[in-house]
Amino acid sequence: MGASRTSFEKLQRDRAKKARADAKRVKRLDRDGLPEEPGELTDLPPEGEEIAPDVLLQMVAELHQAFENEDIDFDEFEERKTELFARLTVD
């Protein structure tokens, strides 16, 4: 039978886990720099103009990154994604 751990040991593990998570977050922010604000939907060209496929894919990638970083909520993410996909042209 294994030795039971004391509550002090659990507290130490929790503190170490939090410290590692904080260090990881700081390292990520230092590597990426300050998070950029995602572009607004008003930054899109007018409805009649086409967006180049590579630019459209980059905008979708930035949108997903903003959602993963919790810069925008789910409703805003869905609204912007719908607007971008509406601009997608299929040949």
More confident residue, 41 or 20: 20
The dihedral region occupied by 63, where left means phi > 0, alpha psi between -120 and 50, and beta the remainder, is alpha
* CB contact at 8 A, 60 and 81: yes
C-alpha distance across the termini of the chain, in Å: 67
Please give the radius of gyration of the chain, using alpha carbons only, rounded to the nearest integer. Answer: 21
Are 83 and 41 contained in the same domain?
A: yes
Q: What pLDDT is stored for residue 35 in this prediction?
A: 46
Tens digits of residue pLDDT in 27-38:
877 776 544 454
Q: What pLDDT is stored for residue 30 in this prediction?
A: 77
**Domain limits at 6?**
1-34
Phi, psi at 51, each rounded to 5°: -110, 135
Q: pTM value?
A: 0.49
Are 12 and 41 contained in the same domain?
A: no
How many domains does the structure of the chain reveal?
2
Tens digits of residue pLDDT in 72-85:
889 999 998 888 88
Q: How confident is the model at residue 68 (pLDDT cuts 50, 70, 90)?
A: very high
